[in-house]
Amino acid sequence: MSDQNRKKPNYFFVFQNKSFVEESEESYLWAPKKTLDGKKVSHWGLMTEVEEGDYVIHSFQKQIKAISIAKSSAYTFDNPKENAEQWMPDGWKIDTEYFIIDKPIITSDHREAIKSLQPTKNAPFNKLGKGNTGYLFRANKDFFDFIVKQTAVQIDTLEEKRKFLNFCASSIIYEIESEMDDRVIEEINQNPWPSLEIVDYYPSPKVRPTAVQNSGRITYVREPMVSKRALARAKYKCEIDESHHSFTRRFTNQQYMEPHHLIPMSQQGEFDYSLDVEANIVSLCSNCHNQIHYGEGSFEKIKLLYGKRKDELKKAKVAITLENLLSFYNLEFKID
Ligand SMILES: [Zn+2]
Ligand SMILES: [Zn+2]
């Protein structure tokens, strides 16, 4: 399951205006090795640079119709399509796994962004933002992330969104999560609340919060009071390292810390009991909190927090393995 030696993927962009239907149905990319008059062409030659695990953005009729992951590098294969006399039969084929997008974005709606994000060499779009003539071009991570994010916005259900983002190994699901976190933080920052003393705390299961539709996506209401109690029981210290200092919160006279749901609330659908419980909310300094959401190398921090909370999570009937928890953060399980 884990594969820590996996290389970083490369990103490509393919125009399949003539071939999308056939190629997506049979899960491949194909390009001839030479033109009918025997010339090599760079946008076909690029096929040989694709490796297993690389991502491909698929354009069809000016829309981003699919994202795929290469399942092989290019191998010699005669044109598998019927009625293809316009091409030399001798070509390169790459096996890919497609994720077809039901509500695709239109590339011309994002012309400026694409122009600024795409690579300078072998770019799919020209200076005017129009698609270059050809088949395969280069993309890069920023370009890919942008496409994934714009596409994800258009997906209706959180379930589908998650499927798509998981396929793209995207960390964006995470940004949605942190938006919700921010709202709780804002609530507790802006309203006075008495400083709480939580002397004894016994984790127990709590009824699952109801799902609400929020501009097309499902979210779960968080109770600010639960987060406040979670901060109190941590004695307003950072649970990564008690020596992390912040400043004094105006309303409570206690050290400022931020609540973070260790198992993201976006995963509530997978659990029978509430994730909005003290057992699942850790108290973090802003720096640690932001690192967990946006930083590299949050593996160690998640692992540390998991170690502290796994028994409590079990008692709150939201037990989870470290491996699953890490997958919610798009981190790979590694054995040290
Ligand atoms: Zn958070
Ligand atoms: Zn900290």
Compute, in angstroms, the gap from residue 232 CA to the centroid of ligand 1. 17
Compute, in angstroms, the gap from residue 87 CA to the centroid of ligand 2. 60
Split at pLDDT 50, 70, 90, the class of 1 is very low
List, for residues 202-252, the tens digit of each pLDDT value.
Answer: 899 999 887 776 554 567 778 888 999 999 999 999 999 999 999 998 778
Neighbouring residues of 296: CB distance < 8 A, sequence distance ≥ 6: none
- Residues with CB under 5 Å of ion ligand 2 are 238, 240, 244, 285, 288
Compute, in angstroms, the gap from residue 181 CA to the centroid of ligand 1. 5
pLDDT recorded at residue 218: 63
List, for residues 106-124, the tens digit of each pLDDT value.
Answer: 999 999 999 999 999 999 9
Compute, in angstroms, the gap from residue 15 CA to the centroid of ligand 2. 46
pLDDT recorded at residue 92: 96
pLDDT recorded at residue 4: 41
Compute, in angstroms, the gap from residue 27 CA to the centroid of ligand 2. 46
Compute, in angstroms, the gap from residue 176 CA to the centroid of ligand 2. 22
Compute, in angstroms, the gap from residue 239 CA to the centroid of ligand 1. 13
Compute, in angstroms, the gap from residue 93 CA to the centroid of ligand 1. 43
Compute, in angstroms, the gap from residue 305 CA to the centroid of ligand 1. 13
Share of the chain above pLDDT 70, in %: 88
Instruction: Kindly report the average pLDDT of the chain as a whole number.
Output: 86
Compute, in angstroms, the gap from residue 190 CA to the centroid of ligand 2. 22
Ligand number nearest CA of 239 is 2
Q: Report the distance separating Cα 279 and Cα 17, nearest Å.
A: 52
pLDDT recorded at residue 179: 63
Mean pLDDT, residues 291-305 taken together: 85
Split at pLDDT 50, 70, 90, the class of 160 is confident
Q: Is 5 or 101 the better-scoring residue by pLDDT?
A: 101
Ligand number nearest CA of 288 is 2
pLDDT recorded at residue 98: 96
Ligand number nearest CA of 184 is 1
List, for residues 76-92, the tens digit of each pLDDT value.
Answer: 999 988 766 778 889 99
Compute, in angstroms, the gap from residue 185 CA to the centroid of ligand 1. 9
Ligand number nearest CA of 234 is 2
Compute, in angstroms, the gap from residue 284 CA to the centroid of ligand 1. 9
Say whether pLDDT at 60 is over 70. yes
Q: Is 208 or 266 the better-scoring residue by pLDDT?
A: 208
HSE-CB for 66 with a 13 A CA cutoff: 24
Q: Which residues pair with 281 in a beta bridge?
A: 261
